[in-house]
């Protein structure tokens, strides 16, 4: 199971059922044969149609029970599909946006790891290696982030799957990179380069207080659909940027050198390969 802490320094255990399934898919020969079938585009399309249909509502009750979802935190709604439930909106006031202009906030609920970007821009996460060059599909802009931070926000199925803008600012177009979909759970990282195989979408955020920040959304196994609301756009801190449909997902922020001082507990945990639970809008650093 993953090693995870909350901001109070308490260790948190993760659900075992998801880990068992992923161990089979990625650590056994039969599992990897099944995975090759599951990740074919036509399977993703069929699964997507099902998850968006009324037929999928039968999955909701069991999911709520198995993952201890507290529906009191979310807007009351009669869900017409599993995806509508999965992307449910949280009640106003349940996530507090840090309004200090110098506070650097988390864009989503997640398990966070933070890494310094070295000259080679190579990162090792739970046994898997990837580069910024690969992550951004060869976009030369990655060179501008030497000495900065790569922040990896891993969402699990029980997290709130909508994400926000981290500051006031403007953005350009989104760049979508198709890929073979795989789960972003750490177990998978022992056998696949996730960021080469997953679909992803990135954009440059021109923020008021932290300069240019690249935000990347990464899809997950099977459906893993990324739904960003805007193309070129002017935004405010805390405005909703988009959502992930069914499937665990990941958001990555790339921050340039000397723009943000990340909170010390996050850096220390990451050095020990411990993910830290953070919530949408929570301060995770401050302007340097």
| Assigned token pair, 242 | 């988009």
For 11-18, the CB contacts below 8 A with 24+ separation are: 12/277, 14/156, 15/66, 15/67, 15/156, 15/158, 17/66, 18/156, 18/157, 18/185, 18/248
Per-residue pLDDT reduced to its tens digit, 70-101: 999 999 999 999 999 999 999 999 999 999 99
CA distance 169 to 188: 35
Question: What range does the domain containing 20 cover?
Answer: 1-288
User: End-to-end CA distance of the chain, in Å?
Assistant: 35
Known catalytic residues? 109, 249
Residues 6+ apart with CB under 8 A from 180: 39, 197, 198
pLDDT band of residue 193 (cuts 50, 70, 90) is low
| Assigned token pair, 189 | 């990282």
Per-residue b or e along 11-36, where b marks 16 or more CB atoms closer than 10 Å to that residue's CB: eeebeeebeeebeebbeeeebeeebe
Percent of the chain whose pLDDT exceeds 90: 59
Rg (CA), the chain: 18
Residue positions counted in the chain: 288
| Assigned token pair, 131 | 């580069």
pLDDT at 125: 36
Q: Tokens 């890929």, residue?
A: 179
Beta bridge partners of 228: 242
Distance of CA 11 to the CA centre of its chain: 21
For 2-5, the CB contacts below 8 A with 24+ separation are: 2/111, 2/185, 2/186, 2/275, 3/272, 3/273, 3/274, 3/275, 4/111, 4/274, 4/275, 4/276, 4/277, 5/269, 5/274, 5/275, 5/276, 5/277
Number of domains in the chain: 1
Beta bridge partners of 191: none
Per-residue pLDDT reduced to its tens digit, 41-55: 777 778 888 989 999
Given a cut of 90, whether residue 246 has pLDDT beyond it is no
Region 9-19: mean pLDDT is 72
Residues 6+ apart with CB under 8 A from 82: 51, 56, 57, 59, 60, 63, 246
Per-residue pLDDT reduced to its tens digit, 211-232: 999 999 987 655 568 999 999 9
Q: Which residue, 181, 30, 166, 46, is CA-closest to 102? A: 166
């Amino acid at each position: 199971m993953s090693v995870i802490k909350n901001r109070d320094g308490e260790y948190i255990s993760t659900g075992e059922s998801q880990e068992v399934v992923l161990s089979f898919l990625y650590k056994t020969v039969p599992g990897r044969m099944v995975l090759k079938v599951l990740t074919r585009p036509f399977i993703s399309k069929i699964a997507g149609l099902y998850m968006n249909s009324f037929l999928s509502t039968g999955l909701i009750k069991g999911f709520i029970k198995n993952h201890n979802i507290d529906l009191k935190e979310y807007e009351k709604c009669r869900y017409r599909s599993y995806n509508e439930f999965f992307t449910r909106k949280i009640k106003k006031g349940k996530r507090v946006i840090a309004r200090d202009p110098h506070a650097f906030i988390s864009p989503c609920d997640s398990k966070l790891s933070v890494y310094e970007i070295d000259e080679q821009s190579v990162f090792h996460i739970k046994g898997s290696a990837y580069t910024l060059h690969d992550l951004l599909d060869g976009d030369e802009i990655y060179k501008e982030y030497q000495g900065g931070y790569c922040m990896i926000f891993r969402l699990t199925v029980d997290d709130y799957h909508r994400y926000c803008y981290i500051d006031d600012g403007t953005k350009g177009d989104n760049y979508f990179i198709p890929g073979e979909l795989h789960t972003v759970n750490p177990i998978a990282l022992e056998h696949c380069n996730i960021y080469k195989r997953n679909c992803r979408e990135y954009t440059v955020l021109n923020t008021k207080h932290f300069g240019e920040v690249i935000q990347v959304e990464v899809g997950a196994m099977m459906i893993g659909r990324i739904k960003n609301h805007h193309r070129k756009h002017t935004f405010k801190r805390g405005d909703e940027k988009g959502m992930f449909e069914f499937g665990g997902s990941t958001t990555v922020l790339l921050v340039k050198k000397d723009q943000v001082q990340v909170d010390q507990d996050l850096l220390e945990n990451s050095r020990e390969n411990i993910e830290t639970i953070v919530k949408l809008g929570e301060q995770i650093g401050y302007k340097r």
